[in-house]
Amino acid sequence: MLILSNNVATTTFDEMYDKSKWNINLLRELNVYEPSEDTFLLLDALESDLENIIASKPRMVLEIGCGSGVVITAIASVVKDCHYIAVDINPNACNVMKNTAEMNKTHVDIVNADLLKSFRLNSAIDMIIFNPPYVETEDEETLVAGISQSWAGGAKGRKILDELLPVLNSALSLTGTFYLVAISYNDIEDLEKCMHDYGFNCSVLKIRQILGELLFVLKFSKERVIGR
Amino acid sequence: MLTSRCLKGVVTGYPLGIVAKEIKIQESEFNKDFITRLIPKLDWNVFWSTAKQIGYEGSLTQQIIADYENNENFLKDVHHALVEVDIFEGELICPETNRKFPITDGIPNMLIKDNEL
Ligand SMILES: C[S@@+](CC[C@H](N)C(=O)[O-])C[C@H]1O[C@@H](n2cnc3c(N)ncnc32)[C@H](O)[C@@H]1O
């Protein structure tokens, strides 16, 4: 059955904090982004929204920049009967993702790709999750392959994210949602405005103060056409 | 692992050709309702031709049958090709340029070098 009791769900999400759920040695050996404050804030946000996620009966969920894979694996172990896809530009992250999915006995399709550039945009995806490289850096730094791509976000930390925003609407289904981690200097107000122009409403799921900056988890939903 | 699945449905340079060098079958529980709900998300023609190229089309037909909701055997063949068949080693081939994208350990590498843009 699709509906799991909240009990089961809570346990599973919390378990993702536990290092036995992912292989920290492999992760360090392959130099992949280690689950951090932002990862856990995203997990908390998804957990707080879990009832809505389950009620929307997603058939296809995709995480961009899956890194270690703990986020999509947490959902995949709780929300069943759904097809999961994980994308990362870093081939090592794809390998760690694979290991994390297997350790937790979940099925996740993994693709080594740049954002949604090799995907058909046919409104098939019900939910997209992204904890992007959001740190403000020189633009050139975003082009260096490897671990620095986990954080290097170019001007305002928005360079990679801004490449994705225009295609989200056509990637997502009518009831599709987009979950995003962002930091205060990404200019949240402007982000909301941009997404509004692309046809999305925004709500704030979580805010946490980390090292003097505010970290957000935002949820964007397609604006309903009146009469639906 | 199910890498070919999403590619059948959603990856472009469209449709990609596929060569499977090593296939792994991973049994997974058949869920009729889930498969029925997933079919509308597939580009049927591409799904069928991909399954055929790797020899796993079973009873599937080029045109989707009208009352597939009620045809358990048909749904089971979709389940098999879509969920259980995993292309472990192989390549995807761009129909226009013949550019090959390798699949290693079930993970396709779709990255394009700067000079290919
Ligand atoms: C901040 S880390 C988040 C990792 C993981 N989701 C987590 O929450 O712990 C960002 C991830 O995005 C990946 N990434 C960066 N640029 C990307 C791009 N253009 N396409 C796909 N993935 C990208 C990085 O390799 C890295 O794994």
What DSSP line would sit under A209-220, residue for residue?
EETTEEEEEEEE
Query: Which of A199, A76, A228, A167 has its CA nearest to residue B1?
Result: A76
CA B54 to ligand 1 centroid distance, Å: 32
- Of the CA atoms within 13 Å of residue A146, those in its CB half-sphere come to 7
* A72-122 pLDDT, tens digit each: 999 999 998 899 999 999 999 999 999 999 999 898 999 999 999 888 888
The radius of gyration computed from the CA coordinates of chain A, to the nearest angstrom, equals 16
Residue B100 confidence (pLDDT):
87
- What 3-state class would DSSP assign to B15? coil
d(CA A168, CA B15): 21
Does residue A190 have a pLDDT over 90?
A: yes
pLDDT higher than threshold 60 for residue B8:
no
Contact B11 A119 (CB under 8 A): yes
Beta strands in B1-117 (DSSP E): 17-25, 85-93, 100-104, 107-108
Q: How far apart are CA A198 and CA A169, in angstroms?
A: 7
Chain A residues whose CB is inside 8 A of the B93 CB are: none
Residue % of chain A over a pLDDT of 90: 79
Output the pTM of the full model: 0.91
Spell out which residues line ligand 1, taking CB within 6 angstroms.
Answer: A 33, 35, 39, 42, 64-68, 71, 87-90, 93, 114-115, 131, 133, 149-150, 160
CA distance B4 to B107: 9
Look at B37 and A59 and tell me if their CB atoms are within 8 Å. Answer: yes
Q: Which residue has the higher pLDDT, A207 or B51?
A: A207
Q: How far apart, in Å, do the first and last CA atoms of chain A sit? A: 28
Residue A138: is its pLDDT beyond 60? yes
Closest residue (by CA) to atom 17 of ligand 1?
A: A89
CA-based nearest residue to B40, from B13, B68, B71, B4: B68
Q: Please report the beta strands in A115-163, taking only residues with DSSP state E, as ranges in sequence order.
A: 125-130
Backbone angles phi, psi at A4, to 5 degrees: -105, 155
CB contact under 8 A, B10 and A119: yes
Q: Which residue of B has its CA nearest to A122?
A: B10
Q: How confident is the model at residue A155 (pLDDT cuts 50, 70, 90)?
A: very high
pLDDT category at A226 given cuts 50, 70, 90 is low
User: Are B89 and B21 contacting, i.e. CB atoms less than 8 angstroms apart?
Assistant: yes
C-alpha torsion angle, residues A66, A72, A74, A76 (rounded to 10): -150
With 60 as the cut, is the pLDDT of residue B6 above it?
no
Q: Which of B27, B38, B5 is nearest to A109 (CA)?
A: B5
Q: Which residue of A has its CA nearest to B30?
A: A81
Q: What is the pLDDT of residues B19-59, one digit of tens each?
A: 899 999 988 889 999 999 989 888 888 888 888 988 998 99
pLDDT at B3: 34
Indicate whether B2 pLDDT > 70.
no
Distance from the CA of A66 to the center of ligand 1, in angstroms?
A: 6
Q: Which residues contact A160 (CB under 8 A, 6 or more apart)?
A: A115, A132, A133, A142, A153, A154
HSE-up of residue A137 (Cα within 13 Å, Cβ side): 18
